[in-house]
């Protein structure tokens, strides 16, 4: 996928048009910085949807995931509605660490939507501030 770190300025994608801005993570909170950056990315790529992949969604009440996926989903949906971000939200079940986690997330979203959300390197930008996660996608 094309990469875009949360710390850099939004730029036009070589493989325009960008249809999806994938934002993977556990999403225990959403910061004002993240909302501003996602808003700028959507403005730079009209028609794009932010795809919130809420990982470890079937875990809650643990040290790593103190809040259940349903609560995190509600948080994300409230923030997206308040900010006016065109968004799609997906709960992604936990899985043991494997090298193909990014593929698992993308395929899980494709499966959940019956193939209507088909992210590819040509139509997707990854919005994330973690270099290792960006490299996976």
Q: How many CB atoms are closer than 10 A to CB 98?
A: 8
44 three-class SS: helix
H-helix or E-strand spanning residue 23: strand 20-25
- How does pLDDT run along the chain (137 residues), one tens digit per residue? 444 444 443 444 455 599 999 999 888 889 999 999 999 999 999 999 999 999 988 877 677 777 888 999 999 999 999 999 999 999 999 877 778 889 999 999 999 999 999 999 999 999 988 888 888 88
Tokens of 105: 């997330």
- Residue 4's pLDDT is 44
Q: Is the pTM of this model over 0.85?
A: no
Q: What is the pLDDT of residue 75?
A: 95
Q: Is the dihedral of CA 103, 109, 110, 116 positive or negative?
A: negative
């Amino acid at each position: 996928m094309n990469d875009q770190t949360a710390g850099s300025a939004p730029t036009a994608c070589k493989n325009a048009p960008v249809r999806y801005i994938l934002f993977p993570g556990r999403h225990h909170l959403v910061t004002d910085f993240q909302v501003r950056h996602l808003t700028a990315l959507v403005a730079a790529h009209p028609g794009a949807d932010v795809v919130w992949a809420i990982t470890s969604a079937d875990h809650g009440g643990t040290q790593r995931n103190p809040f259940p996926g349903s609560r995190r989903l509600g948080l994300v949906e409230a923030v997206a509605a308040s900010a006016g971000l065109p968004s799609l939200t997906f709960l992604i079940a936990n899985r043991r660490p494997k090298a193909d986690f990014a593929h698992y997330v993308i395929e899980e979203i494709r499966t959940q939507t019956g193939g209507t959300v088909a992210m590819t390197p040509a139509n997707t930008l990854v919005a994330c501030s973690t270099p290792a996660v960006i490299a996976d996608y």
